[in-house]
């Protein structure tokens, strides 16, 4: 099956990590007798040859050999190879069958920066390779027909998606899937066949009507509950008008019937190699099939939040722990993407913290941790867990305990005593400082401990910035100016590595700025920094501490002129805080307001308002930026609050935002850990803007 493999010029090709000369070994490993070797080979294919979905010249060269592997019945684990081919072939159909917005917590999901920029690495060459890969897999798609009745159920489970996506004969594909449904006895394969019919209905209008009729028939008795659920999920995606009027009670009844059938069966053993694939296998939910059924239905229901909330509440009040665990994970995607009233499901998630099953408690804490103030309905349960179990603190470990972190992020003062205990431990997790930021004045008793730990941060170390920055942020929020000596110690002894020193000095200067006049003893050091790479943060701090416009205006003006370097935006922000005394900067700010970079334009417009109070040029920039990059909306809304009645010409944007059902940062393919928090802040500011009208 590897005939000709050694004649391919692998060394002249590339994958994600350079030369592809190791690819023949990976291909041979896919057919190895040892299961661990096969898993490592498949991990290598995804990790290098098809890294993060990319298609290289070596990926294209693998396709004929992968087809050879899947057609040899003696090769084990061919289902995974079919899935690899489907992934390499990609999709030009707009489908996202594993929507990150509704998936179980995705440890690989990207976290975007504030600007929302993302480099997909999808250049023209990669785009050409993707097209060639799809064409090659289409050309060989007839091989999948022979696998429809393969002896291996994992192969039969993977084949429907391959047929639908790559065999350009939709009528034939529908016939094959329906015929196999009548003969198939394996429950998981029957679900995959139903999913394939739903995908076919969405991709090929010509067979849409018979495919929908097939799904409608599968929704009814006497079909087993799991298959009926799968068909309902597919109908929701391709023909929502064919869903039953009593969808929610129907789904809940089917879920519970399915759970009763499955109850008593042994949980699959969580084994696997020390690879990404092995790790993800061990992380799968106890009821992976149920998780997929629920994910499909939730994704298809989309903005029907009332139905989705009712489904979650039905599951969260059920007897089956696996059903409740799936509901918790599904709630994460709902909360991240859609705006609604979630008090009841969040309270029910809090109830899961008292469950006996560790996996269920873990899921509940993970979701609550991402909710910040929205976690308030579960705060009593979180507080009880934190107060009763020191293991919930994470004390003595490099990471803060997730229950304590969730309680602090919710702004609940009951987190303070436990955080105080953590701050006295030999190892202080870096997250402590960040968690304290959300507690407001209630965290004031922690300030002396924060100051003490800041004084213990080692100098001239690679760890200096990482350990100091969270403590500095918390001390700044608390305005604890008694910590000025500790801040100056770090300023004088900051590590010599340039990038580390610049980041640390900026953080130190920012903290001194929050102390205001209480940091006057630091003014000589801040003045020394005005001629260096940290001039902008030093000038911003010096203004807050001393208010010397003559000293701070020149470095801030220089920062404005350095577009594209990362200095212009913070310089504009600082000038805005100076306000009307910075009128000399108005010409440069007007120029920056025409920048090609949306964040520089936005910062300049905010500063123009704070200095000159002229709404016309400001609102013009805001309207454009609001639509160009949704991430700017929080900054813009905060400025609109300051503008009061002068913001009236853009109230249409504010009204539209408040009426939008989807969170402004929601997107396909990933999420940020603070998306919910930032969206709730935006909504709060939008309401304030309109209240001031």
- Give the pLDDT confidence score for residue 395 in this predicted structure: 53
Q: Which of 62-66, 154-158, 272-276 has the lowest mean pLDDT?
A: 272-276
566 closest CA partner among 512, 539, 610, 603 = 603
Q: How confident is the model at residue 390 (pLDDT cuts 50, 70, 90)?
A: confident
CB of 574 closer than 8 Å to CB of 604: no
| Residue extent(s) of CATH 1.25.10.10 domains in the chain | 5-94+122-239
Mark out the alpha helices in 204-244 (DSSP H runs): 208-218, 225-238
Confidence of residue 273 (pLDDT cuts 50, 70, 90): low
**Partner residues linked to 15 by β-bridges:** 18
* Residue with token string 């902008």: 536
Structure tokens at 678: 């930032």
User: What is the band of 120 on the pLDDT scale with cuts at 50, 70, 90?
Assistant: very low
DSSP β-bridge partners for residue 338: 662
Tell me the backbone φ, ψ of residue 312, rounded to 5 degrees.
-60, -45
Alpha-carbon distance of 472 to 479, in angstroms, equals 10
Mean pLDDT of the 72-90 span: 95
Say whether the peptide bond before residue 253 is cis (omega within 30 degrees of 0). no
Q: State the DSSP code for 34.
A: S
Q: Locate the DSSP E strands across 340-473.
A: none
5-94+122-239: CATH number: 1.25.10.10
**pLDDT computed for residue 280 by the predictor:** 45
Rounded Cα–Cα distance for residues 439 and 515 (Å): 18
pLDDT of 246 over the 90 cut: yes
The Cα–Cα gap between 223 and 216 comes to 11
Could you tell me which residues come within 8 angstroms of residue 678 by beta carbon, excluding any fewer than 6 positions away? 634, 664, 665, 672
The per-residue pLDDT of the chain, averaged, comes to: 89
Spatial separation of the C-alpha atoms in residues 336 and 608, rounded to whole Å: 34
**Distance separating alpha carbons of residues 572 and 588, to the nearest angstrom:** 10
- State the pLDDT at residue 262: 65
- pLDDT band per the 50, 70, 90 thresholds, residue 20: very high
Mean pLDDT for the stretch of residues 135-162:
96
What pLDDT, on a 0 to 100 scale, did the predictor assign at position 532?
A: 87
pLDDT at 270 over 70: no
DSSP-derived pairing of the beta strands 18-19 and 14-15 = antiparallel
Whether pLDDT at 531 is above 70? yes
Q: Where are the beta strands (DSSP E) in 556-628?
A: none
503: Cβ contacts below 8 Å, ≥ 6 apart: 465, 469
- Give the global pTM: 0.82
The token pair that represents 516 in the structure block: 């205001």
Report, as an integer, the average pLDDT of 261-287.
51
- The DSSP element (H or E) to which 115 belongs, if any, is none
Rounded distance, CA 89 to CA 59, Å?
10
Lowest mean pLDDT among 98-102, 189-193, 605-609: 98-102
Q: How many CB atoms lie within 10 A of CB 458?
A: 12
In angstroms, the Cα distances linking 335 to 128, 145, 355, 427 are: 37, 41, 22, 33
pLDDT at 123 over 70: no
């Amino acid at each position: 099956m590897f005939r000709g493999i050694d004649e391919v010029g692998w060394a002249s090709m590339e994958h994600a990590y350079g030369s592809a000369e190791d690819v023949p070994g990976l291909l041979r490993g896919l057919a190895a007798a040892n299961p661990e070797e096969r898993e490592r080979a498949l991990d290598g294919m995804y990790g290098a040859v098809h890294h993060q979905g990319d298609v290289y010249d070596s990926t294209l060269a693998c396709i004929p050999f992968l087809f050879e592997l899947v057609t040899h019945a003696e090769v084990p684990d061919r289902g995974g190879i079919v899935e690899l081919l489907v992934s390499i072939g990609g999709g030009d159909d707009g489908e996202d069958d594993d929507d990150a917005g509704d998936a179980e917590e995705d440890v690989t999901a990207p976290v975007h920066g504030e600007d929302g920029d993302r480099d997909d690495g999808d250049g023209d060459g990669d785009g050409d390779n993707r097209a060639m890969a799809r064409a090659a897999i289409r050309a060989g798609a007839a091989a999948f027909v022979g696998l429809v009745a393969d002896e291996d159920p994992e192969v039969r489970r993977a084949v429907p998606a391959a047929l639908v996506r790559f065999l350009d004969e939709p009528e034939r594909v529908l016939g094959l899937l329906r015929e196999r449904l009548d003969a198939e006895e394996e429950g998981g394969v029957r679900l995959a066949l139903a999913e394939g019919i739903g995908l076919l209905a969405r991709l090929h209008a010509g067979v849409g009507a018979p495919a929908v009729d097939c799904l409608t028939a599968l929704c009814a008795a006497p079909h087993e509950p799991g298959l009926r659920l799968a068909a309902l999920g597919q109908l929701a995606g391709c023909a929502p008008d064919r869903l039953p009027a009593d969808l929610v009670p129907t789904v809940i009844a089917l879920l519970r019937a399915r759970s009763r059938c499955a109850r008593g069966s042994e949980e699959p053993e969580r084994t696997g190699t020390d690879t990404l694939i092995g790790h993800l296998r061990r992380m799968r939910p106890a009821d992976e099939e149920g998780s997929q059924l629920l994910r499909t239905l939730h994704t298809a229901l989309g903005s029907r939040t009332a139905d989705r909330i009712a489904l979650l509440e039905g599951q969260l009040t059920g007897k089956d722990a696996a059903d409740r665990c799936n509901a918790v994970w599904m709630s994460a995607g709902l909360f991240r993407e859609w705006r609604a009233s979630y008090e009841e499901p969040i309270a029910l998630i809090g109830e899961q913290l008292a469950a006996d099953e560790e996996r269920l408690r873990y899921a509940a804490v993970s979701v609550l941790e991402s909710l910040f103030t929205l976690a308030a309905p579960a705060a009593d349960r979180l507080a009880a867990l934190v107060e009763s179990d020191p293991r919930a603190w994470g004390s003595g470990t490099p990471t803060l305990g997730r229950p304590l972190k969730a309680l602090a992020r919710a702004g609940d003062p009951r987190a303070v005593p436990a955080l105080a205990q953590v701050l006295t431990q030999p190892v202080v997790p870096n997250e402590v400082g960040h968690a304290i930021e959300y507690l407001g004045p209630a965290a004031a008793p922690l300030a002396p401990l924060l100051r003490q730990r800041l004084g213990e941060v080692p100098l001239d170390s690679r760890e200096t910035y990482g350990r100091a920055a969270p403590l500095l942020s918390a001390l700044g929020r608390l305005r604890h100016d008694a910590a000025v000596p500790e801040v100056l110690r770090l300023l004088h002894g900051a590590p010599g590595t340039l990038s580390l020193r610049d980041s640390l000095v900026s953080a130190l200067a920012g903290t001194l700025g929050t102390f205001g006049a209480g940091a006057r003893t630091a003014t000589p050091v801040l003045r020394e920094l005005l001629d260096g790479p940290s001039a902008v943060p030093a000038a911003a701090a010096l203004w807050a501490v001393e208010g010397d416009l003559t000293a701070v205006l020149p470095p801030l003006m220089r920062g404005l002129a350095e577009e594209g370097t990362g200095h212009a935006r913070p310089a504009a922000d600082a000038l805005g805080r100076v306000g009307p005394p910075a009128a000399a900067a108005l010409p440069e700010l007007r120029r920056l307001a025409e920048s090609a970079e949306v964040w520089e334009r936005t910062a300049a417009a905010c500063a123009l308002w704070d200095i000159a109070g002229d709404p016309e040029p400001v609102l013009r920039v805001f309207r454009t930026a609001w639509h160009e990059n949704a991430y700017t909306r929080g900054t813009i809304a905060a400025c609109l609050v300051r503008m009061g009645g002068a913001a009236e010409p853009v109230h249409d944007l504010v009204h539209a935002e408040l009426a939008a059902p989807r969170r402004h940062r929601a997107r396909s393919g990933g999420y940020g850990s603070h998306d919910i928090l930032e969206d709730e802040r935006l909504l709060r500011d939008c309401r304030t803007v309109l209240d001031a009208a």
